[in-house]
């Protein structure tokens, strides 16, 4: 561990030029006192490293000195594919390995390329998880990843949504996929390739003696795309016919999945005399569709099926009864994006609009 840290200090100084002891300590997650000891060890080893005192001081290498300790280990080379995904890399237990690999790669680049790579890293960030979701517990993810890499089977106890809810399965894992911050393992089970959510694995036992041969022509990306399309089509077997305002047609992409939006727009006819467009939308169930269409507010009118139309009317009536006679914040109408894919700000108040003070009372229940 200490040897790796000494190399990291050299590579950091080689790529950054000058760093203070505190900056080195923060990057390597150690104390400043530890950095002082490490610098003394590097001095003793003959490394041309010296420090400048004062506010603009710090440690730096002698001009022209470059270490040749830039060769990537096997683990570091493999982890480079996760370099843009710090969250998933950390969940796999590869956070420190990815950092070391990036550092070595930066140190090996010519100065001009190193500067360009550094600019990209400073200016772009890929944040994979979706909004408003807490991280899922993925206790067994490292063990699943090891089985994927080493091609050995797993015995798992798995929780699923249908009865029986808890089942035991023997899996031959082919690959891992992270989708919107959720981890899935693609594995062969009982002669079929299936997909399992890693957070739903309750118990796991590695079967290291039971090796399997991963099909050489298995394409994880192609399999996942086919699974995603098939899953959505299987989930949404029903259809709803609706009229959408121009704004509703535009907001559809923010409130529903890309597959649903594509299918709906493919059925769109020309706008009617009011500018509204008739579309056919794939739906999962009346209950689920009620929630989806309510988010469009008065920008949608469902025409079919009758049971969905009745469900929307009943919900709207219940809301009217609930809020009848109560003050509500101004602007809490269709102008406020509902269920958008990220933070949305309330539209600015129009000049001259009245302002009322709204008092919210806390309901106390026994």
pLDDT in tens, 194-203: 999 999 999 9
Last residue of a domain, one of 65, 90, 123: 123
- The verdict on 223 and 272 lying in the same domain is no
Q: What is the domain range of residue 81?
A: 2-123
Q: What is the pLDDT of residue 130?
A: 65
Weakly modelled stretches of the chain, pLDDT under 70: 1-4, 64-135, 325-366
- The verdict on 149 and 252 lying in the same domain is no
- The verdict on 170 and 283 lying in the same domain is no
Q: What is the pLDDT of residue 331?
A: 43
Q: What is the pLDDT of residue 101?
A: 59
Q: What is the mean pLDDT of the chain?
A: 77
Last residue of a domain, one of 185, 201, 228: 228
**Is 135 a domain residue?**
no
Which two tokens mark 56?
A: 């603009």
Q: What sign does the CA torsion over 81, 85, 87, 88 have?
A: negative
3-state secondary structure of 82: helix
Give 66-75's long-range contacts (Cβ < 8 A, gap of 24+): 66/14, 67/7, 67/10, 67/11, 67/14, 67/107, 69/7, 69/10, 69/11, 69/104, 70/11, 70/104, 70/105, 70/107, 70/108, 71/104, 72/101, 72/104, 72/105
- The verdict on 179 and 63 lying in the same domain is no
- The verdict on 108 and 11 lying in the same domain is yes
**Is 134 a domain residue?**
no
Beta strands of the chain (E only): which ranges?
18-19, 49-52, 58-61, 152-159, 166-179, 182-189, 192-197, 201-211, 238-244, 277-283, 300-304
Closest CA to 175 of 137, 144, 207, 143: 144
- Please check whether residue 294 is in contact with residue 317, taking contact to mean a CB–CB distance below 8 angstroms: no
User: Cα-flanking dihedrals φ and ψ of residue 194, to 5°?
Assistant: -125, 170
Cα distance between residue 226 and residue 259, in whole Å: 12
- The verdict on 151 and 198 lying in the same domain is yes
Number of structural domains (the chain) is 3
**Is 196 a domain residue?**
yes
Closest CA to 75 of 95, 56, 50, 51: 95
Q: What is the pLDDT of residue 173?
A: 96
**Is 129 a domain residue?**
no
Cα distance between residue 12 and residue 35, in whole Å: 13
- The verdict on 324 and 260 lying in the same domain is yes
Which residues share a beta bridge with 50? 60
**Is 133 a domain residue?**
no
pTM confidence score: 0.52
- The verdict on 287 and 338 lying in the same domain is yes
- The verdict on 153 and 241 lying in the same domain is no
Phi-psi region of 300 (alpha: psi -120 to 50; beta: other; left: phi over 0): beta
**Is 62 a domain residue?**
yes
- The verdict on 54 and 110 lying in the same domain is yes
**Is 287 a domain residue?**
yes
- The verdict on 252 and 285 lying in the same domain is yes
Last residue of a domain, one of 198, 228, 258: 228
Query: Where residue 50 sits, what CATH number does that domain have?
Result: 1.10.10
- The verdict on 34 and 114 lying in the same domain is yes
């Amino acid at each position: 561990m200490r040897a790796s840290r000494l190399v990291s200090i050299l590579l950091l100084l080689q790529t950054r030029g000058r760093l203070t002891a505190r900056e080195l300590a923060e990057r390597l997650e150690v104390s400043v006192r530890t950095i002082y000891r490490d610098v003394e060890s590097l001095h003793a080893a003959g490394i041309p490293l010296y420090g400048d005192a004062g506010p603009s001081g710090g440690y730096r290498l002698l001009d022209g000195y470059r270490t040749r300790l830039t060769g990537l280990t096997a683990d570091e080379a493999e982890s480079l594919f996760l370099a843009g995904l710090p969250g998933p890399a950390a969940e796999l237990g590869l956070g420190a390995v990815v950092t070391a690999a990036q550092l070595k790669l930066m140190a090996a680049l010519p100065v001009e390329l190193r500067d360009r790579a550094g600019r990209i890293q400073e200016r772009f960030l890929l944040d994979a998880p979706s909004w408003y979701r807490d991280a899922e517990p993925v206790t067994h993810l490292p063990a699943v990843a090891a089985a994927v890499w080493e091609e050995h089977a797993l015995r798992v106890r798995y929780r699923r949504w249908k009865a029986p809810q808890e089942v035991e399965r023997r899996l031959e894992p082919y690959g891992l996929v992270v989708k919107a911050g959720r981890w899935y393992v693609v594995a062969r089970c009982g002669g079929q390739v299936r997909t399992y959510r890693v957070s739903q694995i309750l118990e796991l036992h590695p079967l290291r003696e039971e090796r399997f041969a991963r099909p050489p022509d298995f394409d994880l990306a192609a399999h996942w795309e086919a699974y995603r399309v098939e899953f959505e089509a299987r989930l949404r077997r029903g259809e709803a016919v609706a009229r959408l305002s121009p704004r509703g047609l535009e907001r559809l992409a923010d409130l529903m999945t890309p597959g649903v939006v594509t299918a709906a727009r493919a059925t769109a006819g020309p706008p009617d005399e009011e500018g509204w467009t008739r579309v056919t939308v794939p739906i999962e169930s009346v209950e689920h569709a009620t929630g989806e269409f309510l988010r469009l507010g008065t920008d949608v009118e469902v025409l079919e099926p009758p049971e969905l139309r009745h469900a929307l009317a009943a919900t709207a009536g219940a809301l009217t009864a609930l809020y009848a006679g109560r003050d509500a914040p101004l602007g809490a109408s269709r102008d406020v994006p509902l269920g958008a894919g990220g933070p949305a700000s309330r539209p600015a108040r129009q000049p001259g609009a009245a302002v009322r003070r709204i008092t919210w009372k806390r309901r106390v229940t026994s």
